Amino acid sequence: MHPAFMGWWAGARRRHGCGTSASCGHDGMHTQGFGGDGDPGGGTFGVRRPLRFLAYRLDLDDKQVAELARILSDLKTERAQGAVDERRTVSGFADALAGESFDAAKVAAIASDRVRIAERLRDAVVRALERIHAMLDKEQREKLAYLIRTGTLTI
């Protein structure tokens, strides 16, 4: 199924009273939900949506889809951890400002943590790109490069 069709399909299911993770009663078709938290594919841009998009656009085989799913999952986990660490640094900055006296050493340590977080995310993206490059053939790499270059896909 073409990725652009998924939103229409989910809306049609909702209009006809079908759930996203249960069977659909009006035509006897049993389907599994494909989004998280009751989300039928729209909303959060997790791992499934870019995986479907890339599998379709790059014409990936099953082995490549499985490997790409692992790569995207690892990258998503690293980005989520980076977001948690970023919120912790913001909280640390706020605590430093709320105190009676300004602790420059504490703020410098928090700022260096922020740099470390960015470096860790940079390294995760480099590893992901390296793994993706290794699993794709020349034509697929060219298509992926075009998607990134045109802004259709961001990494």
The answer to whether the beta carbons of residues 74 and 138 sit under 8 Å apart is no
CB 120 within 8 A of CB 82: yes
C-alpha distance from residue 7 to each of 39, 140, 152 (Å)? 11, 26, 18
Q: Residue-wise pLDDT tens for the chain (155 aa)?
A: 666 766 776 777 677 655 544 444 443 333 333 344 444 444 344 446 788 889 999 999 999 999 999 999 999 999 999 999 999 999 999 999 998 999 999 999 999 999 999 999 999 999 999 999 999 999 999 999 999 999 888 87
Show the domains of the chain with their CATH numbers: 1-44 (no CATH), 50-155 (1.20.120)
Q: Taking Cα atoms as reference points, which of 13, 33, 37 lies closest to residue 25?
A: 13
110-116, Cβ contacts within 8 angstroms, sequence gap of 24 or more: 113/85, 113/88, 113/89, 114/86, 114/89
